[in-house]
Amino acid sequence: MTARQITIFVSSVSEGLESTRDQIIHDLSKAGYDVTAMERFGAQPGAPLDVCLNELRKSDGVVLLIGPRYGSVLPQGISYTHAEFREARGAGIPVFAIRISDDAGLDATERARIEAFATETGSTTTYDSLASAETLERISPWVLAALSTARDRGDIGRRFSVFQRYDQFFASQLVETSPLINHEGPFVGRESQFAQISAFVESGTPVLLLKAAGGSGKSRLLLEVAKSAAQRPDTPQLFFTNPAATWSVDDISLLPRTSPAIVVFDDGHRRPDLDGIIAACRQHNDAIRYVVSCRPSAVSIVTPLLSALLGVEGLPEIDLPLLSQQDAEALARHYLGDTFQAFAKRLVAVADRNPLVIRVGGRCISEHRVLPEALERTPEAFRRVVLDRLLHDPALTASHAAAHRRILEVLSAIGPTVTENDEFVKQLAGTTKLNDDDVRRLLATLERAQFLVRRGRLVRVSPDVLADHLLYMAAVDDSGQPTGFVDRMVAQFRPQLENILANAAELDWRSETADGPTSVLRTVWRDLMELLPTLSNRGRAELVGQLKRAAIFAPAEVVRLSQWLVEHPEAPTDELLGKWGLDDSPERLTDAITEVLGLIATHPDFTKRCAAMLWSLADREEGPDDRNPSHPRRQLADLLK
C-alpha cells in the first residue's frame, strides 16, 4: 500500500498547539498522507465527540500529542483526546504518541490526569517510550520519521488482521528484551520435523497436522519454517492465525487471492470455528493449504473435522517427540550460561527434556531469579517455582506485586478480552481493591512488560504457559480441590462467560489427562443446568452459543445441557422480547444446538448421542433442509460423509 493511501488522524488539544498542528498537517499532507483532523471536519450532524470518533475509525494510524493540558472533561469523565486514544486502541489502530511538557500553571488535578493518560498510552505507542520534553519544532519531523519507519515495517497501512506473517505474529518474542519466554536462542533437535514441514510447504498436500504437547517447541518449529520460506520468493508464504481473535470477510480478503499460501492454526484445537474459517479461506482461494497444530489429546476431535472438510483420508501427521538427551543438554547449557554449566544434566532431568521448561528454568537460574537448589525438587514443583519467578520482573513495580498477579489471574480466566471498557475496569478495580486509575496504570505496565499481549482490540496473558499456571494456581488449592475462583469469575464477569467456560474447561481437560483435581467448573455446570428451565428460547440460544468453545474441552457437559434442551422444547415466553420485536422463536435455539452438536459429533465417543439428538431436531423442522448450514438434516448429512 502506498503512502498516499494511508490515512492519519491527528489528535491533541487545540489551544496552545495551533501552529504545531498546522505544521504536522502540512508536512504529512506534503509527504502523501491523507490527513484527518478537527480543522478539516467542517459542519457535520451529530455530537462533536461522535464526529471525531467516526472519523478516527476510518484512519490507519493516530498521531497523538499528550499535553500541554489535559483538555475539557467530557461527561464520560475523560477528555476528547483521551477518548480518541481509547477508541483507537480498542479498534486496533496504531498510535504514535509524543509527550509535550505541561503548562506551568496547571493545578494538581489536571497534572495528575495528564500523567495518568501518559502512563496508559505508553503501552501502545510504536516506540517503547514517550519523548518527555520534545520541543514543539521537533515534533513534526519526529512524527514523519515514526510513520515512515512503521510503514516500512508493515505496521501501518492496514488494520490488525487475524492472519499475520511470522515477523508480526511473533514480534514480541523475537527481541532479547522480551520476557523469559521468547524465541531467541538456538534451534536444536527438530531438524527432521523441520524438513518434513518444509517439504509439505513445497508440496500440493492440502493439510498437515502437527501433534505436540505444551511447551515442546511447536511454535518455534513453525516459526523457523516460516522464516525459511520467506527467504525463498517462489515458495508459498505462511500466515499465522491468532487462536482467539474473531474474523470477518475483510480478514479473509487480505490473504492471497490466487497464488498458493499456507495458513497456520497454531493450537488449532482452541478454535471452535476451525471448520468455518477454513471453508471461508477455500472459497476465497482454493490454492490455500493448512497446517494445524494441536495437543495429542485433541486429535480425536480435530482429525475427523479436517478429514471431512477437506476430503482427505489418512490425514498426514507429524509427531513432535521429546528432545534427545544430547540436544536437551545443549539447550540447557546455552540458557544456563558459563557460570552454571554443571547443572545442565540436572536441569534436563527435572524439565523432562521439555524445551520450554529448559529455556525458562535455565534463564531463571542464570539470572539469579531461582537458586540452583530448586533443581532438587520434583518436576512439577520446579515448574511452579520457575513460572512464579516470571512475575518478579524488574519492569513490574514491587509495591504492586499482589495487584499485578491478581490482574493476571483474572485475565487468565476471562481473556482474551477488551480492557478499555470502563465497566470492565470498574469490575477489575473491585476485585483488586484499587481505584480505576491505578488499574489502568497497572494494565499499561503489564502490557509494556509484555505479560499482556494485544491482538487488535483483544488482550490476553502471555505466554500461554504462564496463563495456564496462573489460572491453575488460582482455581485449585494444594489438596487438588477447587478454590471457588472460577465461580467468582462467572459471578463477577458474566459478559465473559464464554471465555471463562472455555479457559476453565481446558484446565479441567488437562487435569483429567494427568489424573488431576476435581472439576473447577463443577458448580458452574450445575448452576447452568438449573438455569435452563427459566430461560426463553432466545436466552437458551445465547447460552448455547457461549458453550461452543468449551465444547471442545468439555463435550460431555455440553452434550448433557444440549440433551436437556432437546428433550424440553417448551420455553417460557419473554414478553419484553415481543414488545421489542426481537426473535424468540424455537428455530433460533435449534440452529444454535445444531451447530454445537455438529462440532461435538466428530468425536467418536459422542457421535451416536449427537446424531440421535440431531435426528430428533430434524424431525421437528419443517421446510427444505438447505435453508442454512445449521439445519439438523444438513449436519446429519455432513456427519455421514
Tens-place pLDDT, residues 261-272 = 999 998 888 887
Query: What does DSSP assign to residue 391?
Result: T
Is there a contact between 162 and 251 (Cβ–Cβ < 8 Å)?
Answer: yes
Residue 80 and residue 236: Cα distance in Å, rounded? Answer: 45
**What number is the average pLDDT over the span 367-391?**
86
Strand 34-36 to 95-99 pairing: unpaired
Predicted pLDDT at 576 = 62
Helices 522-531 and 485-492 sit at what angle, rounded to 10 degrees? Answer: 40
Higher pLDDT, 601 or 194: 194
Residue 577: pLDDT band by 50, 70, 90 thresholds?
low
Q: Which of 277, 291, 268 is nearest to 201 (CA)?
A: 291
Residue 41 and residue 509: Cα distance in Å, rounded? Answer: 54
Predicted pLDDT at 285 = 94
Residue 151 and residue 244: Cα distance in Å, rounded? Answer: 26
Residue 479 and residue 518: Cα distance in Å, rounded? Answer: 10
- Written as one letter, the residue type at 31 is A
The per-residue pLDDT for range 63-101, each reduced to its tens digit, is 999 888 888 887 767 888 888 888 887 677 888 888 888
- Written as one letter, the residue type at 224 is E
Helices 422-432 and 401-414 sit at what angle, rounded to 10 degrees? Answer: 130
φ, ψ (nearest 5 deg) of residue 466: -70, -40
Say if residue 105's pLDDT is above 70. yes
Which residues are registered as beta bridge partners of 65?
98
User: Residue 234: in which H helix or E strand, if any?
Assistant: none
The per-residue pLDDT for range 205-238, each reduced to its tens digit, is 999 999 988 788 899 999 999 999 999 888 999 9
CB neighbours of 144 closer than 8 A, spacing ≥ 6? 27, 28, 31
Residue 365 and residue 357: Cα distance in Å, rounded? Answer: 12
Which residues are registered as beta bridge partners of 97?
64
The per-residue pLDDT for range 10-67, each reduced to its tens digit, is 998 888 888 888 888 888 888 888 888 876 554 444 446 777 887 887 888 899 998 8
Residue 348 and residue 524: Cα distance in Å, rounded? Answer: 39
Residue with cell 505474529: 169
Predicted pLDDT at 318 = 94
Residue 342: pLDDT band by 50, 70, 90 thresholds?
very high
User: Residue 218: in which H helix or E strand, if any?
Assistant: helix 218-230
The per-residue pLDDT for range 246-299, each reduced to its tens digit, is 787 878 888 899 899 999 998 888 887 888 899 999 999 999 999 999 888 778
Predicted pLDDT at 579 = 56
Joined together, the cell numbers standing for residue 450 give 509484555
- Rounded to the nearest angstrom, the gap between the alpha carbon of residue 398 and the centroid of all alpha carbons in its chain is 27
Q: Which of 159, 157, 86, 160 is nearest to 123 (CA)?
A: 86
Residue 489: pLDDT band by 50, 70, 90 thresholds?
very high
Predicted pLDDT at 2 = 41
Residue 209 and residue 218: Cα distance in Å, rounded? Answer: 11
Residue 191: pLDDT band by 50, 70, 90 thresholds?
very high
Is there a contact between 241 and 280 (Cβ–Cβ < 8 Å)?
Answer: no
Q: Which of 78, 66, 8, 107 is nearest to 422 (CA)?
A: 78
Q: How many CA atoms lie within 13 A of 504 on its CB side?
A: 32
Lowest mean pLDDT among 283-287, 340-344, 345-349, 585-589: 585-589
DSSP string, 525-561: HHHHHHHGGG--HHHHHHHHHHTHHHHTT-HHHHHHH
Residue 130: pLDDT band by 50, 70, 90 thresholds?
very low
Give the other-Cβ count within 10 Å of 411's Cβ.
26
Instruction: Quote the pTM value.
Output: 0.75
Give the other-Cβ count within 10 Å of 546's Cβ.
17
Predicted pLDDT at 179 = 57
